């Protein structure tokens, strides 16, 4: 039997209304993340939370997730429960300089279910890194959130950003589906 972990990435206050980097419909993603957390907790399956902390650099000052501000805190509805690991990262990949790989190896993880924020940044980067390390990855796309983006004169609505990431990841780097589908497959 494969051991599966739920990886909850960067569900932090700055991504919600009133934060310094509010995303498109983060509350919708939050409800799906809570479903995943509930299932994994009920079945005593491992859960790892990731929290991003920005490093202020002279060439690129931090705009959000600033240490000592309320925005860096995990959203109160997804706080780690007893026995759930919390790792802090400073880069888009949850694997870079966090000890995540060692933790997964220690508990014999072969498969990751990934959710969180932002779809096009930390979820995407972590998914690709996990694939490169040999993990089987599922992304609960409805349990992710992202902003509307702009490149030059082109505005890309958040729902298209999310769909583009899903299309790029699905089939090669991960199996991308919805929370209910993933939970039905696990259960």
**Which one of 14, 35, 89, 162 is the catalytic residue?**
89
**HEC readout, 141-171:** EEEEEECCEEECCEEECHHHHHHHHHHHHEC
Q: Are 34 and 79 in contact (CB under 8 A)?
A: no
**Which one of 10, 14, 124, 142 is the catalytic residue?**
10
What is the per-residue pLDDT across 41-51, written as a single tens digit (0 to 9) for each?
999 999 999 99
pLDDT score of 62 more than 90? no
Section 113-142 average pLDDT = 98
pLDDT score of 3 more than 90? no
| Burial of 38: CB neighbours in 10 Å, binned 0-12, 13-18, 19+ | exposed
> pLDDT grade, residue 1 (50/70/90)?
very low
| Burial of 127: CB neighbours in 10 Å, binned 0-12, 13-18, 19+ | buried
Residue 66 lies in a domain: no
pLDDT score of 140 more than 80? yes
How many domains does the chain contain in total? 1
Residue 64 lies in a domain: no
Q: What percent of the chain has pLDDT over 90?
A: 93
Phi-psi region of 30 (alpha: psi -120 to 50; beta: other; left: phi over 0): alpha
**Which one of 14, 122, 142, 162 is the catalytic residue?**
122
Q: Which domain holds residue 116?
A: 4-8+22-50+92-186
To the query of whether residue 146 is one of the catalytic residues in this protein, the response is no
pLDDT score of 187 more than 80? no
pLDDT score of 130 more than 60? yes
pLDDT score of 114 more than 90? yes
To the query of whether residue 132 is one of the catalytic residues in this protein, the response is no
Q: List the beta strands (DSSP E) in 17-171.
A: 47-52, 85-89, 111-117, 136-145, 149-151, 154-156
Tell the residue number behind the tokens 């509930």, with chain if given.
Answer: 38
Task: Look at residue 57 in the predicted model and tell me its pLDDT.
Answer: 80
- How wide is the angle at C-alpha 130 spanned by C-alphas 53 and 93, nearest 5°? 20
Residue 177 lies in a domain: yes
To the query of whether residue 89 is one of the catalytic residues in this protein, the response is yes
* CATH number of 124's domain: 3.40.50.850
Residue 55 lies in a domain: no
Section 1-28 average pLDDT = 94
Section 166-171 average pLDDT = 98
pLDDT score of 32 more than 90? yes
How far is 169 from 24, CA to CA, in rounded Å? 20
């Amino acid at each position: 039997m494969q051991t599966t972990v739920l990886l909850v990435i960067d569900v932090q206050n700055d991504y919600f209304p009133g934060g310094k980097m509010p995303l498109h419909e983060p509350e919708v993603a939050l409800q799906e993340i809570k479903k995943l957390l509930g299932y994994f907790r009920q079945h005593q399956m491992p859960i790892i939370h990731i929290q991003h902390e920005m490093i202020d650099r002279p060439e690129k000052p931090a705009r959000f997730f600033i240490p000592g501000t309320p925005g860096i805190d995990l959203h109160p509805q997804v706080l780690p429960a007893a026995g759930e690991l919390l790792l802090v990262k400073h880069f888009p990949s949850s694997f870079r300089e966090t000890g995540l790989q060692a933790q997964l190896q220690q508990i014999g993880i072969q498969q990751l279910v990934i959710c969180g924020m932002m779809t096009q940044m930390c979820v995407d980067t972590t998914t690709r890194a996990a694939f490169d390390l040999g993990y089987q990855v599922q992304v609960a796309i409805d349990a992710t959130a992202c902003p509307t983006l702009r490149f030059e004169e082109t505005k890309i609505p958040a729902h298209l950003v999310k769909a583009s990431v899903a299309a790029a990841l699905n089939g090669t780097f991960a199996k991308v589906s919805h929370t209910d589908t993933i939970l039905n497959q696990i259960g």
